[in-house]
Amino acid sequence: MLGAGGRLVILVTGGLGFIGKHFVQRCIELNHWVTNIDVVNYAADRVVKDAFETSANYRFIQADIATLDHLPECDVIVNFAAESHVDNSIVDNERFCVTNVLGVQHLLELARMKQRGDRPRFIQISTDEVYGDIAEGAHDETDRPCPSNPYAATKAAADMLVMSWARTYGLDTNIIRPTNNYGPHQYPEKLIPKSCARLTRGRPAILHGDGSYQRCWLHVDDTVEAVLSVVAKGRPNTIYNVAGDLHVANIDILRHLARFFEMPDSRAWTFVEDRSGQDHRYSLDDSRLRALGWAPRREFTRELESIAKTFDFKRFL
């Protein structure tokens, strides 16, 4: 898979979004050739958009994956592009179907149309949400998808397309299913940055339901390393969960943040009505990925404190 000097030509989609931009940054540092295709929606980071342009091994194409007219030459496509926020999918599910399902179908077709020897490998970034929740234990990659909300359903649909393009057309694929990511410069609609944005301004964070819902939290740099492990060593047409070790209830995240922002718990959060379709607990078995040599390295409390201390709520205004 690796070309001369280990350099790859990598096509990243959604590389201005939260996880994609950290992946692009790392690929540039590793001296791969990177083409980044991004439509630049509300979640795209304009600061990194300009910063990346200074790298000689990087180029940017502003385009929609659902209407892209041709696929640039590449060894591998890593598809991060998506509508990614569950709450938005509950009020406007069509946009999610267009990007997350038809967009993936379109990319798969562009890859399939290449001459056999020139066909790139296709790596789909999926999510733990495709499995739905689990009261005890952990989902492994053989479990059937059972999504609970429109976002998760579109991601599950995309996974089915990827699996069928592998089987029917012989495309070389992987599916990667990470859990909740956190890290610097995440768009302030997700729990941690949204809470930081409110606490920075002395306003209480918002918790759905009673705040007891558990998520498995994974630092974005650990996710980037996981994707690179699959790029380098993943078995063809194999799904990889990426979980990390840490299950935390949403309310416990707020307890940490309240301490960092020096707010008493009584003023640090307020409860709102539960989100419809709410999943209670996610948990993944990622031993398949760990067998490739990957393990999470970032320590949650320390990283969370650093995010809270350096949070810049003006970045996405």
Ligand X SMILES: NC(=O)c1ccc[n+]([C@@H]2O[C@H](COP(=O)([O-])OP(=O)(O)OC[C@H]3O[C@@H](n4cnc5c(N)ncnc54)[C@H](O)[C@@H]3O)[C@@H](O)[C@H]2O)c1
User: Applying CB under 6 A, does 74 fall inside the site for ligand X?
Assistant: no
Q: For this structure, is 92 an active site residue?
A: no
User: Applying CB under 6 A, does 86 fall inside the site for ligand X?
Assistant: no
Lookup: tokens for 262: 């020096």
The 3-state DSSP class for residue 221 equals helix
Q: Which of 38, 83, 129, 225 is catalytic?
A: 129
Exposed, middle or buried by CB within 10 Å (0-12, 13-18, 19+), for 223? Answer: buried
Centroid of chain to Cα 75:
21
* Least distance (Å) between residue 293 CB and ligand X: 21
Query: CA distances (Å), 236 to each of 123, 181, 217, 230, in order?
Result: 10, 25, 27, 10
* Least distance (Å) between residue 68 CB and ligand X: 8
Q: Which of 58, 131, 151, 282 is catalytic?
A: 151
- Helix runs in the chain, H state only: 18-29, 46-52, 86-91, 93-96, 103-113, 150-169, 191-200, 220-233, 250-260, 265-268, 287-290, 300-310
Name the nearest CA neighbour of 199 among 275, 265, 272.
265
Pick the stretch among 46-54, 58-66, 229-237, 280-288 that binds ligand X (CB under 6 A): 58-66
How many residues touch ligand X under the rule CB under 6 A: the total is: 31
CB 204 within 8 A of CB 269: yes
User: Applying CB under 6 A, does 13 fall inside the site for ligand X?
Assistant: yes
Which positions from 168 through 187 interact with ligand X, judged by CB under 6 A?
A: 178, 180-181, 187
User: Applying CB under 6 A, does 224 fall inside the site for ligand X?
Assistant: no
Q: For this structure, is 129 an active site residue?
A: yes
Between residues 66 and 153, which has the closer beta carbon with respect to ligand X?
Answer: 66
Residue 165 to residue 134: CA distance in whole angstroms: 29
For ligand X, the binding residue among 25, 35, 36, 84 (CB under 6 A) is: 84
Q: For this structure, is 312 an active site residue?
A: no
Lookup: tokens for 2: 């690796």
Residue 193 to residue 159: CA distance in whole angstroms: 28
Tell me which residue has its CB nearest to ligand X: 17
Pick the stretch among 3-11, 63-71, 139-147, 285-293 that binds ligand X (CB under 6 A): 63-71
* Least distance (Å) between residue 316 CB and ligand X: 10
User: Applying CB under 6 A, does 18 fall inside the site for ligand X?
Assistant: yes
Between residues 18 and 165, which has the closer beta carbon with respect to ligand X?
Answer: 18
> Could you give phi then psi for residue 230, rounded to 5 degrees?
-70, -40
User: Applying CB under 6 A, does 66 fall inside the site for ligand X?
Assistant: yes
Which positions from 111 through 130 interact with ligand X, judged by CB under 6 A?
A: 125, 127
One-letter identity of residue 14: G
Binding mask 240-279 for ligand X (x = CB under 6 A): ----------------------------------------
One-letter identity of residue 283: S
User: Applying CB under 6 A, does 283 fall inside the site for ligand X?
Assistant: no
> Please, which residues bridge with residue 247 across strands?
216
User: What value, to the nearest 5°, has the Cα angle with vertex 317 and ends 299 and 197?
Assistant: 40
User: Applying CB under 6 A, does 38 fall inside the site for ligand X?
Assistant: yes
Between residues 140 and 263, which has the closer beta carbon with respect to ligand X?
Answer: 140
Binding site for ligand X (CB under 6 A): 13-14, 16-20, 37-41, 43-44, 64-66, 80-84, 99, 103, 125, 127, 155, 178, 180-181, 187
Catalytic residues: 128-129, 151
